[in-house]
Amino acid sequence: MELLSNWIDWTPQLWKGLKVSLQLTSLALLFGLPLGLILALASSAKLRLLRYLSIAMVEIGRGAPALVVLQMVYYGLPSAGISVGAFTSGVIALALTTGAYTSEILRAGLNAVPHREVEAGQALGMTHADILRYVVIPQGVLYAVPALMGFAILIFQLTSLTFTIAIPELLARSYRVGAATYLYLDVLALAGLMYLAVTLPFGWLVAFAERRLSLHLK
């Protein structure tokens, strides 16, 4: 009973944290997805320099732990004379991670577009840019949707890392309540439930999208 009444007391505070986590997720996706598409296109560009550069960016972005990228942005940018707050650092780092990961997902999607459609476009005299824009990208991105949604869950979970750079997201706020009350287990359990309340239903949605889109592909 005491646990329940505590949970009710803490909910408004944690709810604020959850909103910050969700904001971070949306901003990371908003900036990271276009970056991912650019990297995906650049990694199959004709220009060799561009191709190698984007492949290197993707490999480093995926190979380096997200927490390392986060702290690099947070501690690195100010020393390079660019002063941004913790929240902006968090968004930049998570967007970079999103870009690196989603570029691979998008590349797989773009590659799934049958090559004969590109050839048909060429036969019709379409320019390379037009073929990309009207034929390859719309279909390729659609193929990638379930995997991208799966990644969105991952990036939502990754927002918990921003605890280490003092962004007041869900984990940071729960920890603060824990430190004040010494009821770490109780408040962290509530935080865990809040994470689950987002990740589980969204996971079901991903499974649904996978079924629907694979139907369309058959």
Partner 1 sequence: MIDLLLSILRGLPATFGVTVSAFLIGAILAVPLVLMRRSRSILLRLVARIYVDILRGIPPIVWLFIIFFGIGNGFVTLSAFQAATLGLGLVSAAYLCEIYRGGFLALSKSQEEASIALGFTRLDTLRFVLAPQVVRVSIPGMATFLVSLLKDTTVASAIGVRDIMLYASQEAQAAGGGFMPFIMAALLYILLSIPVAYFSRRMDALMRRRVSK
Listed in sequence order, the residues at least 6 apart from 106 whose beta carbon sits closer than 8 Å to its beta carbon are 36, 37, 40, 140, 141, 144, 148
Map residue 80 onto helix, strand or coil. coil
For residue 183, count CB atoms less than 10 angstroms from its CB and return exposed for 0-12, middle for 13-18, buried for 19 or more. middle
Q: How far is the CB of 183 from partner 1 (least distance, A)?
A: 9
Find tokens 């139907």 and name the residue.
215
Whose Cβ is closer to partner 1: residue 46's or residue 79's?
79
Q: What is the DSSP letter of 47?
A: S
Residues that bind partner 1 (CB under 8 A): 59-60, 63-69, 71-72, 75-76, 78-80, 157-158, 160-161, 163-164, 171, 174-175, 178, 184-185, 188-189, 191-192, 195-196, 199-200, 203
Listed in sequence order, the residues at least 6 apart from 182 whose beta carbon sits closer than 8 Å to its beta carbon are none
Q: How far is the CB of 124 from partner 1 (least distance, A)?
A: 40
For residue 72, count CB atoms less than 10 angstroms from its CB and return exposed for 0-12, middle for 13-18, buried for 19 or more. middle
Q: How far is the CB of 4 from partner 1 (least distance, A)?
A: 18
Structure tokens at 56: 């290197």
Whose Cβ is closer to partner 1: residue 36's or residue 61's?
61
For residue 58, count CB atoms less than 10 angstroms from its CB and return exposed for 0-12, middle for 13-18, buried for 19 or more. buried
